[in-house]
A and B are shown apart, each in its own frame.
Chain A
Amino acid sequence: MSAHYRPVLWNPQKRIYDGVMLGLMALYLLLFAALQLLFYPEITEETLIIRATGTLAYLMLHVILVIGPLTRLNPYFMPLLYNRRHLGVTMFLISLVHGAFNVVQFHALGNVDPLVSVFVSNLHYPSLGNFPFQVPGFFALFILFVMAATSHDFWLKNLSPRVWKSLHMMVYAAYALLTMHVMLGIVQLESAPAWVALPGAGLLVVIGFHLAAAFVEQRRTYQPQTLDNEGFVSVCLVEDIQESCAKMVLIGEENIAIFKYEGKVSAVSNVCRHQNGPLGEGKIIDGCITCPWHGYQYLPHNGQSPPPFTEKLETYDVRIVEGQVYVHPRPYPEGTERPPALISASNSPLL
């Protein structure tokens, strides 16, 4: 968490994650190169590097985009999400190798600056078939660079989570640009079914996982319609919330997580201050609400991270009447202590 910053905070799980990631990348690159040299020994080294790195980076971007919805569909895949930023930065570096080789190979040593050449060599901008496919690739690489450069928590803290998250949602723009880059570029030459079908299948997988996750998310979050005369909203029965876990509820614009723990119920914002993770899918561990994405922690009764950490959440009033849990959708300022509702015998439903 954000008491201070180090370039990289390593732990055993990150080392395993990175080791597996590098191993899979090596598998792809070695297999790609071996097959090329075996079946097409006349290929040049430059073309081999350009094709190997380009296809690997595009494949990695699909994995990056699928991990998020995959963990929403099944939390047991959460370890794949934890160190995803290393995957993203590595994918950018592979893309950079691809881009640099392309610029040198196709644009350098000519009569104009190589970077200018990317934009002016092919002027068929109004044409779909002849569109200069390097241009969307260039802008995608720029987006990936900005994301990689700001991936550290230092930028998350200084840009604010909202700005940081918005910036990193640009990954979808990068994906759209790269899909253009692929379909208007190499697929115009390599027209075999595999070269057309694989990007298409990748697009369907990415869209399919996101739609499935959105559907499940909608079912998981309760959206009540009615308020009582004091502004409280009936949410669920106490027994509907598992111990040390939460019920997520969306009331208007308020995304609220209602936690049950140690005979009490408290309500805080459902949005983690780190990367907007869904706190309500987390758990109370050692007395703290623990985010499922990166383990950021908050005290349930005041929404404050335990010292020395400084993150704070909005809190909400909550009450229990005859076993029914009510929450008031008016947020208190971040870190405001609110008394938990007690689950006493008188509040329990009649048995």
Chain B
Amino acid sequence: MNDPMRDSGAFFIGWQPRMPGAYARPVRMAVAAFALVSVLVASLLVLSQRGFETSVFEFGKISTNEGILVLSPVPMLKVVSGTDAEGKVLYNSLLLVGAGKMGADTALHQMALQMGQPLAGKTLKLRGTLIYYQGKTALELSEGASAFAGLEDNSRVYMPDTEELGDISLRGEILDPKCALGVMKPGHGKPHLSCAVRCISGGIPALLRVAQKSGETRYVILLNEDRRPAGPQVLAYVAEQVQVCGRLERQDDWLLLVLSAEDPVQRLQPRGGRADVAMCGG
């Protein structure tokens, strides 16, 4: 089998200063092909992505927020947002989370120790980084216990506006609110699974994201029977499409789901698809 390269007399040796002229054209063609493939691959991959949430994490911007500190069932800062027609106080509840992949409990406990008094139910100011998306807001206590910016007038008594919504089964994805509301994009799905597990393991409350047929998205805080964050119970189902059964409540502007005692979470197959809301046993 004759070799055209040998017939031409050209022979490439890498350590020589220049390559024989006969090699230039094929090599240029190969480089042009690689350039074309690079352009095509980059364009196809970017343009066919699902896209990203318009959620916001105000990274690097510390704001001071005044509200009533609530520790149960999950830490929140209840910021007065106005009153309704009957004069009842309305709250914008900031879900409190810690720095990194940790809950806010440690920082809040240290604040109480530094102040020498319990802070639950007190009106205070907290510094932190806001995270918000689709009407829900979280506040990262980025500075740890130093996020405490002072006690305010404590004459206001927090009266939660609660509503029992009955037993229900919800379909959606379990995730952590910190990433889902803006720190990560995407903050859901398989690639984010490990991160969500770390966040929930670190004490950040688990959320169920329910995408309704109407196109509206609901976020529901998952609690166990003792009305504590249900992280350990749902950790094995994070970032999967699941059906969750329990008793639904509304507390101010958040929905809470107290999980059923038996088999509260069931996997749905396959991955993906839209979620529906149905009544348990209905």
Q: Which residues of A contact B (CB under 8 A)?
A: 9, 11-14, 20, 24, 27-28, 31-32, 35-36, 39-40, 42-44, 47, 51, 55, 59, 63, 70, 74-80, 82-83, 105-112, 117-118, 121-123, 129-130, 132-134, 184-186, 188-195, 198, 219-220, 242, 245, 281-283, 285, 290, 292, 294-295
CA distance A285 to B48 in the complex (A): 52
Does B261 sit at the interface, judged by CB under 8 A?
no
CA distance A63 to B46 in the complex (A): 20
Chain A residues with Cβ under 8 A from B23's Cβ? 76, 78-79
CA distance A89 to B67 in the complex (A): 54
Question: Which residue on chain B has the smallest CB distance to residue A52?
Answer: B42
B45 A198 Cβ-Cβ under 8 A: yes
Q: B16 to nearest A CB, angstroms? A: 7
Q: Which residues of B contact A (CB under 8 A)?
A: 1-7, 11-19, 22-23, 26-27, 30-31, 34-35, 37-39, 41-55, 57, 99-102, 184-186, 189-195, 197-199, 201-203, 236, 240, 270-272
Say which residue of A70, A111, A184 sits within 8 Å of B102 (CB atoms). Answer: A111
A47 B11 Cβ-Cβ under 8 A: no
CA distance A134 to B195 in the complex (A): 12
Q: 20 other contacts beyond A107-B194, A110-B202, A133-B190, with CB at 8 A cut-off?
A: A27-B35, A31-B43, A35-B47, A36-B46, A42-B53, A55-B42, A63-B34, A75-B3, A76-B5, A76-B22, A82-B14, A83-B14, A107-B195, A129-B270, A134-B194, A185-B190, A186-B191, A194-B47, A198-B44, A245-B6
Q: B194 to nearest A CB, angstroms? A: 4
B194 A117 Cβ-Cβ under 8 A: yes
Chain A residues with Cβ under 8 A from B202's Cβ? 110-111
A47 B185 Cβ-Cβ under 8 A: yes
Minimum-distance CB pairs A-B, first 8: A109-B100, A82-B14, A121-B194, A110-B198, A110-B101, A192-B48, A76-B26, A188-B190
CA distance A283 to B198 in the complex (A): 60
Chain B residues with Cβ under 8 A from A12's Cβ? 17-18
Chain A residues with Cβ under 8 A from B27's Cβ? 76-77, 79-80
Say which residue of A24, A36, A121, A123 sits within 8 Å of B31 (CB atoms). Answer: A24
Q: A315 to nearest B CB, angstroms? A: 23
CA distance A36 to B184 in the complex (A): 16
A285 B11 Cβ-Cβ under 8 A: yes
